[in-house]
Structure 1
Amino acid sequence: MPITCFIRYQIDPFQREAFRRYAEAWGRIIPRCGGNLLGYFLPHEGSNHIAWGLIGFDDMAAYERYRAVLRADPEGRANFELAQAQRFILREERSWLEDVAGTVHRPRQVAP
Protein backbone atom coordinates (compact mmCIF):
# COMPACT_ATOMS: atom_id res chain seq x y z
CA MET A 1 0.00 0.00 0.00
CA PRO A 2 1.66 3.28 -1.10
CA ILE A 3 1.94 5.85 1.68
CA THR A 4 3.00 9.49 1.96
CA CYS A 5 4.74 11.10 4.88
CA PHE A 6 3.24 14.58 5.20
CA ILE A 7 5.54 16.85 7.22
CA ARG A 8 4.28 20.19 8.56
CA TYR A 9 7.02 22.57 9.65
CA GLN A 10 6.65 25.68 11.73
CA ILE A 11 9.61 27.76 10.60
CA ASP A 12 11.19 31.00 11.71
CA PRO A 13 9.88 33.38 9.00
CA PHE A 14 13.08 35.42 9.30
CA GLN A 15 15.10 32.35 8.30
CA ARG A 16 13.09 31.42 5.23
CA GLU A 17 16.17 31.15 3.01
CA ALA A 18 17.88 28.81 5.48
CA PHE A 19 14.84 26.52 5.27
CA ARG A 20 14.95 26.77 1.45
CA ARG A 21 18.58 25.55 1.44
CA TYR A 22 17.62 22.76 3.87
CA ALA A 23 14.76 21.66 1.59
CA GLU A 24 16.93 21.87 -1.54
CA ALA A 25 19.46 19.55 0.11
CA TRP A 26 16.68 17.01 0.73
CA GLY A 27 16.01 17.19 -3.00
CA ARG A 28 19.32 15.38 -3.47
CA ILE A 29 19.34 13.25 -0.32
CA ILE A 30 15.83 11.75 -0.21
CA PRO A 31 15.81 10.18 -3.70
CA ARG A 32 19.35 8.85 -3.19
CA CYS A 33 18.25 7.17 0.05
CA GLY A 34 15.14 5.56 -1.48
CA GLY A 35 12.30 8.02 -0.87
CA ASN A 36 10.03 9.40 -3.56
CA LEU A 37 10.25 13.14 -2.93
CA LEU A 38 6.95 14.74 -3.88
CA GLY A 39 8.23 18.16 -2.85
CA TYR A 40 8.96 20.78 -0.24
CA PHE A 41 6.83 23.90 -0.10
CA LEU A 42 7.48 27.32 1.44
CA PRO A 43 4.71 29.73 2.41
CA HIS A 44 3.84 32.14 -0.38
CA GLU A 45 0.81 34.13 0.78
CA GLY A 46 -1.10 34.11 4.02
CA SER A 47 0.73 32.47 6.91
CA ASN A 48 4.48 33.09 6.68
CA HIS A 49 5.65 30.44 9.14
CA ILE A 50 4.27 27.10 7.85
CA ALA A 51 6.13 24.95 5.32
CA TRP A 52 5.44 21.43 4.06
CA GLY A 53 7.36 18.39 2.88
CA LEU A 54 5.85 15.30 1.23
CA ILE A 55 7.72 12.04 0.74
CA GLY A 56 6.21 8.90 -0.78
CA PHE A 57 7.04 5.25 -0.12
CA ASP A 58 5.76 1.96 -1.51
CA ASP A 59 4.90 0.83 2.03
CA MET A 60 6.14 1.09 5.63
CA ALA A 61 8.86 -1.50 4.96
CA ALA A 62 10.25 0.78 2.23
CA TYR A 63 10.17 3.66 4.70
CA GLU A 64 12.13 1.62 7.27
CA ARG A 65 14.76 0.76 4.63
CA TYR A 66 14.96 4.46 3.70
CA ARG A 67 15.48 5.44 7.34
CA ALA A 68 18.36 2.98 7.70
CA VAL A 69 20.06 4.33 4.57
CA LEU A 70 19.38 7.94 5.61
CA ARG A 71 21.00 7.42 9.03
CA ALA A 72 24.20 6.33 7.26
CA ASP A 73 24.16 9.18 4.71
CA PRO A 74 26.75 11.88 5.57
CA GLU A 75 24.88 14.66 3.73
CA GLY A 76 21.61 13.67 5.41
CA ARG A 77 23.19 13.77 8.88
CA ALA A 78 24.80 17.13 8.06
CA ASN A 79 21.45 18.56 6.95
CA PHE A 80 19.77 17.49 10.20
CA GLU A 81 22.64 19.01 12.18
CA LEU A 82 22.39 22.27 10.22
CA ALA A 83 18.70 22.61 11.11
CA GLN A 84 19.44 21.98 14.78
CA ALA A 85 22.34 24.44 14.87
CA GLN A 86 20.55 27.26 13.04
CA ARG A 87 17.14 26.61 14.67
CA PHE A 88 15.07 27.69 11.67
CA ILE A 89 12.62 24.83 12.29
CA LEU A 90 10.59 25.63 15.39
CA ARG A 91 8.26 22.63 15.26
CA GLU A 92 7.78 19.59 13.07
CA GLU A 93 4.74 17.30 12.80
CA ARG A 94 4.45 14.13 10.71
CA SER A 95 1.31 12.47 9.45
CA TRP A 96 1.16 9.22 7.50
CA LEU A 97 -1.36 9.12 4.68
CA GLU A 98 -2.54 6.27 2.49
CA ASP A 99 -2.33 7.19 -1.19
CA VAL A 100 -5.66 6.99 -3.01
CA ALA A 101 -5.10 5.00 -6.21
CA GLY A 102 -5.63 6.97 -9.38
CA THR A 103 -5.11 10.37 -7.76
CA VAL A 104 -1.34 10.60 -7.19
CA HIS A 105 0.99 11.83 -9.96
CA ARG A 106 -1.86 12.67 -12.33
CA PRO A 107 -0.60 14.82 -15.20
CA ARG A 108 -2.39 18.03 -16.01
CA GLN A 109 -4.79 17.75 -18.92
CA VAL A 110 -5.32 20.59 -21.32
CA ALA A 111 -8.98 21.28 -22.11
CA PRO A 112 -9.85 20.84 -25.79
Structure 2
Amino acid sequence: MTVTVFIRYQIDPFQQREFEAYAQRWLEIIPACGGDLLGYWMPHEGTNNIAFGLISFESMAAYEAYRARLRADPAGRANFEFAQAQKFIQAEERTFLRQVERT
Protein backbone atom coordinates (compact mmCIF):
# COMPACT_ATOMS: atom_id res chain seq x y z
CA MET A 1 0.00 0.00 0.00
CA THR A 2 1.43 3.37 -1.02
CA VAL A 3 1.59 5.97 1.74
CA THR A 4 1.79 9.70 1.02
CA VAL A 5 3.16 12.07 3.62
CA PHE A 6 1.31 15.39 3.47
CA ILE A 7 3.42 18.06 5.17
CA ARG A 8 1.75 21.33 6.10
CA TYR A 9 4.14 24.15 6.96
CA GLN A 10 3.27 27.36 8.72
CA ILE A 11 5.98 29.73 7.55
CA ASP A 12 7.05 33.26 8.34
CA PRO A 13 5.41 35.22 5.48
CA PHE A 14 8.35 37.64 5.47
CA GLN A 15 10.77 34.76 4.80
CA GLN A 16 9.06 33.08 1.84
CA ARG A 17 12.25 33.37 -0.21
CA GLU A 18 14.19 31.42 2.41
CA PHE A 19 11.52 28.71 2.59
CA GLU A 20 11.50 28.42 -1.20
CA ALA A 21 15.30 27.93 -1.23
CA TYR A 22 14.84 25.24 1.45
CA ALA A 23 12.11 23.51 -0.60
CA GLN A 24 14.18 23.69 -3.80
CA ARG A 25 17.03 21.82 -2.12
CA TRP A 26 14.61 19.04 -1.11
CA LEU A 27 13.73 18.57 -4.79
CA GLU A 28 17.10 16.81 -5.20
CA ILE A 29 17.70 15.48 -1.69
CA ILE A 30 14.39 13.63 -1.19
CA PRO A 31 14.55 11.51 -4.39
CA ALA A 32 18.23 10.74 -3.72
CA CYS A 33 17.24 9.37 -0.30
CA GLY A 34 14.40 7.22 -1.68
CA GLY A 35 11.26 9.38 -1.50
CA ASP A 36 8.88 9.76 -4.44
CA LEU A 37 8.56 13.53 -4.25
CA LEU A 38 5.26 14.81 -5.61
CA GLY A 39 6.33 18.40 -4.95
CA TYR A 40 6.35 21.47 -2.76
CA TRP A 41 3.79 24.27 -2.98
CA MET A 42 4.28 27.89 -1.94
CA PRO A 43 1.68 30.53 -1.07
CA HIS A 44 0.51 32.43 -4.14
CA GLU A 45 -2.83 34.14 -3.46
CA GLY A 46 -4.80 34.31 -0.23
CA THR A 47 -3.13 32.89 2.87
CA ASN A 48 0.52 33.92 2.83
CA ASN A 49 1.95 31.71 5.57
CA ILE A 50 1.02 28.14 4.57
CA ALA A 51 3.09 25.86 2.30
CA PHE A 52 2.85 22.14 1.52
CA GLY A 53 5.06 19.21 0.59
CA LEU A 54 3.92 15.75 -0.56
CA ILE A 55 6.12 12.65 -0.66
CA SER A 56 5.03 9.07 -1.39
CA PHE A 57 6.50 5.77 -0.25
CA GLU A 58 5.61 2.18 -1.04
CA SER A 59 5.05 1.48 2.68
CA MET A 60 5.60 2.84 6.18
CA ALA A 61 8.71 0.64 6.35
CA ALA A 62 10.04 2.39 3.22
CA TYR A 63 9.30 5.74 4.88
CA GLU A 64 11.26 4.74 8.00
CA ALA A 65 14.22 3.61 5.87
CA TYR A 66 14.07 6.93 3.98
CA ARG A 67 14.11 8.89 7.27
CA ALA A 68 17.26 7.02 8.34
CA ARG A 69 18.96 7.78 5.00
CA LEU A 70 17.86 11.43 5.23
CA ARG A 71 19.34 11.82 8.74
CA ALA A 72 22.65 10.37 7.48
CA ASP A 73 22.72 12.51 4.31
CA PRO A 74 25.06 15.55 4.58
CA ALA A 75 22.87 17.69 2.28
CA GLY A 76 19.73 16.71 4.20
CA ARG A 77 21.32 17.58 7.54
CA ALA A 78 22.56 20.90 6.14
CA ASN A 79 19.05 21.77 4.92
CA PHE A 80 17.51 20.96 8.32
CA GLU A 81 20.19 23.10 10.00
CA PHE A 82 19.48 25.97 7.57
CA ALA A 83 15.79 25.90 8.52
CA GLN A 84 16.60 25.87 12.24
CA ALA A 85 19.08 28.73 11.95
CA GLN A 86 16.81 30.93 9.81
CA LYS A 87 13.60 30.12 11.76
CA PHE A 88 11.28 30.52 8.74
CA ILE A 89 9.24 27.42 9.67
CA GLN A 90 6.94 28.26 12.58
CA ALA A 91 5.10 24.92 12.67
CA GLU A 92 5.12 21.66 10.72
CA GLU A 93 2.42 18.99 10.62
CA ARG A 94 2.73 15.56 8.99
CA THR A 95 -0.28 13.52 7.96
CA PHE A 96 0.08 10.04 6.47
CA LEU A 97 -2.47 9.32 3.77
CA ARG A 98 -3.44 6.36 1.62
CA GLN A 99 -5.23 6.72 -1.67
CA VAL A 100 -8.83 5.59 -1.91
CA GLU A 101 -9.03 2.74 -4.42
CA ARG A 102 -11.92 1.73 -6.60
CA THR A 103 -13.63 -1.44 -5.48
Q: What's the TM-score, normalizing by structure 1?
A: 0.88
1:37-86 superposed Cα distances (whole Å, 9 cap, x missing partner): 00000011110000000000001011011011111100000000000000
- Name the amino acid aligned to 2:70: L
Of all paired residues, the percent bearing the same amino acid is 66
Distance 1:52 1:99 in 2: 18
Aligned length: 102
2:38 pairs with 1:35: no
CA RMSD of the aligned region, Å?
0.9
**Alignment partner of 1:27: what SS?**
helix
Distance 1:101 1:83 in 2: 36
What's 1:92 paired with? 92
Larger Rg: 1
Stretches of 4+ aligned residues off by more than 4 angstroms? none
Distance 1:101 1:89 in 2: 34
What's 1:18 paired with? 18
Structure 2: stretches of 5+ with no match in the other structure: none
Question: How many Å apart are 1:100 and its aligned residue?
Answer: 2.9
Q: What's the TM-score, normalizing by structure 2?
A: 0.96
Question: How many Å apart are 1:99 and its aligned residue?
Answer: 2.0
**Alignment partner of 2:90: what SS?**
strand
